[in-house]
Amino acid sequence: MEDYIKSIMKEARVFYPPKSFSNKAHIKNIKEYERLYKQSIKNPEKFWAEQAKQLEWFKKWDTVLRNEKNFFKWFEGGKLNVCYNCLDKNIKSGKKEKIALIWEPESGKGKTYTYGQLLKEVCKFANALKKKGVKKGKVVQIYLAMIPELLISMLACARLGAIHSVVFSGFSADSLKDRILDSKSEFLITSDGSFRNGKVCPIKDNADAAIKACPSIKSIIVVKRTNNKIKMKKNRDYWFHELIENEKDFCKAEHMDSEDPLFILYTSGSTGKPKGVLHTQAGYLLYAQQTFKYIFDIRDDDIYFCTADIGWITGHSYIVYGPLANSATTIMYEGAPMYPKPDRFWNIVDKYKVTIFYTAPTAIRALAKEGDKWPNKSNLSSLRLLGTVGEPINPEAWLWYYKVIGKEKCPIVDTWWQTETGGILITPLPGAIPLKPGSATKPFFGIVADIFKENGSKAKVNEGGYLVIKKPWPGMLRTVWNNPKKYKKTYFEKFNVYLTGDSAKIDEDGYFWIMGRLDDVIKVSGHRMGTAEIESSLVSHKSVAEAAVVPFPHKIKGQAIYAFVILKKGNQKSESLKEELKKHVGKTVGPIAKPDKIQFADDLPKTRSGKIMRRMLKAIAEGSSEFGNVSTLADPEVIKKLQEERIL
């Protein structure tokens, strides 16, 4: 990481927003940002109460914020409906015929929904769900790829006050099972299959396998997408299209309390079991709406394309809720970035005249590697703003994005945030804040971010430390589902303010530089994975006795997975076993979790009390011999052997 920071600091150039951009922007210059920012943090409650007027409430709140020992409640006493705010409210203000959603399937024959049409589809499905027993407070698991029914299902749940829990369709049957077991949902929405890279992924088969161990599931609703053969179990499995066939296209929006749950999204932390991050109604919606408005500087005629999958938080906040709450036009693309060729994203930009494009550094690096000829084949002149999210962006990738995609006229918003934060916390405002490649720049309105040292004191300028958020904000997670203790321990125990898990520093201009995770979370191609999840998958293989997983730097993926594996007695170390183990992880967790490198070991570096010393393994995987303090190492010989046998 130090090298990374050194390298970004070399990129000392500052990029100013073009005048033509700033003139029309919501926030036009740094002074305006600073003035509003100061106001917002002087009295965040006043600030957010003022902003909350932009939502439509069935009943106004009584209190803006209440702190119950670090469990925060926003807008208590207020009543509203998230789906109503995303659809009905826009229709009432004259946007009925405006396109809400553009869906681009892998096959290319796109489909659009106006706000009016989308409301009808959502209502029909909400009515169908109601008949199956879905209502306020029930959890609905959604295991779908990027098809319109995913967004429709989420909004239908929100309309009824049911809690949706989307599971990324690339996750395996086991991962789905774990999430259903934790959320205890009775309903599952999936499809007969999904398209990825022109191939059919059998996600209904995965769902069938998963729910064998999930007695809570009563009904499965299946969207017909690929027409491949699947099993439909009587009185449990229902076709989506049959259920909605005769449903009315109006359904009343439930009046929800501000702090009723909206959704659970599972995310990896430092323990084996993913955490169910809980977001609630009003605060989440307000934060998604406000951040989307100012950070993407949204205007009525924008066409906005975020390439994320809705199975992750970026898709929740910035494909679905943020854009729709701003009556924007949002694009949802079904497939892989390189399908059928590496110009697919640029084709989409050209085809729909996209004005705002939001993606991850890993995609930028992968597409840059394919060469400029791909973007150069498309007309990208409609673009006015670019964004990145998910991992640090290296200056080379930033500059490529800026020059080749943005033609040096589009600001880039490098947005830092997390599943837990609900929305973007540290980011440029594109018309106002000058950019430094590799820096997420400044905190958003109402966000008080800082860097703490181990002892809780403030770090000096340019000194690395723990990134913390010192005041609550409306979009923050409310708890970990079924596990409030974990919420307290993970986020508030160390400093009594919100701990992000990232390290960062602030430079002399007040710019934030994110340095990476401090815990055992790995970002593989921007996807958040826990080392412990991958380790427990490896150990579940019959030939493995012990495993330790660490990240190593990867040119395109940002980080990749390096696994140290100790075999059980009687097993031969072989290349074929390595392949088998990779497949096993792919099957039990999901293809994105497959280790890139596996090194068989006889022993791992441990402390005298038996704890694996991960930072040493990390150094070995990176090929570095800077081990830091080794005085607690039980057997120094172990390191030497591991270094010799390192996989290059």
Binding residues for ligand WTA (CB under 6 A): 267, 312-314, 389-392, 414-419, 440, 500-502, 514, 517, 523, 528
Among left, alpha and beta (phi > 0; psi -120 to 50; other), residue 14 is beta
Q: Which is nearer to ligand WTA, 342 or 516 (CB)?
A: 516
Specify the residue for token string 């495993």. Answer: 547
Closest CB 322 distance from ligand WTA, rounded Å: 12
Query: Could you tell me which of 219, 251, 222 has the C-alpha nearest to residue 140?
Result: 219
Closest CB 516 distance from ligand WTA, rounded Å: 6
Q: Which is nearer to ligand WTA, 105 or 272 (CB)?
A: 272
Q: Which is nearer to ligand WTA, 238 or 487 (CB)?
A: 487
Q: Which is nearer to ligand WTA, 317 or 326 (CB)?
A: 317
Q: What is the token pair recorded at 212?
A: 């064998």
Closest CB 314 distance from ligand WTA, rounded Å: 5
Specify the residue for token string 């309105």. Answer: 445
Closest CB 631 distance from ligand WTA, rounded Å: 30
Q: Report which residue's Cβ sits closest to ligand WTA.
A: 419
The residue type at 181: L
Closest CB 195 distance from ligand WTA, rounded Å: 24
Q: Which is nearer to ligand WTA, 303 or 514 (CB)?
A: 514
Query: Could you tell me which of 486, 477, 93, 521 has the C-alpha nearest to residue 284?
Result: 477
Taking CA atoms, 606 is separated from 223, 270, 632, in Å, by 50, 18, 8
Closest CB 591 distance from ligand WTA, rounded Å: 17
Q: Which is nearer to ligand WTA, 211 or 412 (CB)?
A: 412
Q: Which is nearer to ligand WTA, 25 or 425 (CB)?
A: 425
Q: Which is nearer to ligand WTA, 121 or 502 (CB)?
A: 502
Classify strands 449-452 and 558-567 as parallel, antiparallel or unpaired: unpaired
Closest CB 4 distance from ligand WTA, rounded Å: 11
Ranges assigned E (strand) in 323-367:
329-333, 356-359
Closest CB 393 distance from ligand WTA, rounded Å: 7
CB of 163 within 8 A of CB of 262? yes
Q: Which is nearer to ligand WTA, 55 or 397 (CB)?
A: 397
Q: 43 in helix, strand or coil?
A: coil
Q: What is the token pair recorded at 441?
A: 């720049």
In 3-state terms the chain splits into helix, strand, coil percentages (rounded to 5) of 35, 25, 40
Q: What is the CB-side half-sphere exposure of residue 128 using CA atoms within 13 A?
A: 26
Q: Which is nearer to ligand WTA, 418 or 599 (CB)?
A: 418
Closest CB 517 distance from ligand WTA, rounded Å: 5
CB of 188 within 8 A of CB of 204? no
Taking CA atoms, 212 is separated from 141, 429, 630, in Å, by 15, 48, 47
601 CB neighbour count, 10 Å cutoff: 22
Q: 500 in helix, strand or coil?
A: strand
Closest CB 416 distance from ligand WTA, rounded Å: 4
Q: What is the token pair recorded at 263?
A: 């959704």
- Give buried/exposed letters for 199-222 (b at 16+ CB in 10 A, else e): eebbbbbbbbebbeebeebebbbb
Q: Which is nearer to ligand WTA, 177 or 523 (CB)?
A: 523
Closest CB 528 distance from ligand WTA, rounded Å: 4
Closest CB 463 distance from ligand WTA, rounded Å: 18
Q: What is the token pair recorded at 153?
A: 């299902």
Q: Which is nearer to ligand WTA, 191 or 441 (CB)?
A: 441
Question: How far apart are the C-alpha atoms of 462 and 9, rounded to whole Å?
Answer: 10
Question: How many residues belong to the chain?
Answer: 648
Question: How far apart are the C-alpha atoms of 625 and 631, rounded to whole Å?
Answer: 15
Q: What is the token pair recorded at 290?
A: 């406000």
Q: 435 in helix, strand or coil?
A: strand
Taking CA atoms, 468 is separated from 57, 159, 497, 528, 625, in Å, by 32, 34, 7, 19, 30
Question: How far apart are the C-alpha atoms of 145 and 484, rounded to whole Å?
Answer: 30
Q: Read out DSSP for 365-385?
A: HHHHHT-THHHHTS--TT--E
Closest CB 526 distance from ligand WTA, rounded Å: 7
Q: Which is nearer to ligand WTA, 440 or 604 (CB)?
A: 440
